[in-house]
Amino acid sequence: MTYLEVVFRYGAVPGEGALRAIDGMREVYGVRRVQFDERERTVRVEFDASRLKTDAVARLLREAGVDVREPVVLA
């Protein structure tokens, strides 16, 4: 397995339903970790790159109810 991290900006703060859906993502799709930074309004996702691509991670977050915007370039 190859794990990668991606960071996205988000708009609206995710609600309880979205957070529950994200827990389900971890169990099913190869998402290892999800961290929200409310101050920066970003979400950082560590995922199995052999199973998912960055676009798929963004789609899963949107389907969970997160208002995903643009990705943040990591240095």
33, pLDDT greater than 80:
yes
- Please report which confidence band the pLDDT of residue 42 belongs to, taking 50, 70 and 90 as the band edges: very high
pTM of the entire predicted model? 0.89
Residue 29 structural domain: 3-72
Tens digits of residue pLDDT in 18-28: 988 988 887 77
Q: Which residues contact 65 (CB under 8 A, 6 or more apart)?
A: 14, 15, 17, 18, 21
Q: How far is CA 66 from the centre of its chain?
A: 8
Q: Please say whether the beta carbons of 34 and 68 come within 8 A.
A: no
Structure token digits, residue 65:
């109810």
Q: CATH no. for residue 24?
A: 3.30.70.100
Mean local confidence (pLDDT), 44-58: 93
71, pLDDT greater than 80:
yes
Into how many domains does the chain fold?
Answer: 1
